[in-house]
Amino acid sequence: MFQTTKLFRKVISVGICAAIGFTGLGFGQAGTAEAATPKTNKIIKTGAKYLGVKYRFGAPSGVTYAFDCSSFTQFIFKKNGIYLPRTSRAQAAKGIRVSKANLSKGDLVFFKSPGRSGIGHVAVYAGYGKILHAAGKSVKFSKLSSSYWKKNYVTARRVVKHYA
């Protein structure tokens, strides 16, 4: 009986140490790249209220009858107390760079436009491989892994502080 108890304690101790070690190394943390804060969840929720609103290139700041990509991100972030510049190119200079593998909800994701140089589109990473943006005909969710967005991906920036 004593041998079994001692063995059981060792197995549990090793398991706990392994879990702590893996967590410290970034392994075993389900959803690390999907991390969200109340503020980032609120940003996505704010943006989702405008699903289906018409896309219009050059839509003015502050209106809700139509958005272009950067007026949309500027609007939903401002509603949540974060002020962004008007253009996607200027927004790409804000915050800190984030690798594609470490995207979190609320991160700004930037793309090039075919036939143009530099940043031409901005979206908000919504988690679970989706982006929320004004593109095509309206505000919508799209898969970041779709061939178009994958091919034109440039960078991502974190403008909302994430606290541990």
For residue 159, the tally of other CB atoms under 10 A from its CB is 19
Average pLDDT value for the chain: 85
Q: For the domain 35-158, what is the CATH superfamily, name and number? A: endopeptidase domain like (from Nostoc punctiforme) (3.90.1720.10)
The residues with which 110 forms a beta bridge, in sequence order, are: 122, 155
| pTM, full prediction | 0.78
- Positions marked catalytic: 69, 121, 133
- What mean pLDDT do residues 11-31 have? 41
Q: Where are the domains of the chain?
A: 35-158
The pLDDT-based confidence of 159 (bands split at 50, 70, 90) is: very high
The pLDDT-based confidence of 35 (bands split at 50, 70, 90) is: confident
Residue 22 has pLDDT above 90, yes or no: no
Strands in 90-129 per DSSP E: 96-97, 108-112, 119-127
Amino acid at position 133, single letter: H
The pLDDT-based confidence of 160 (bands split at 50, 70, 90) is: very high
For residue 59, the tally of other CB atoms under 10 A from its CB is 21
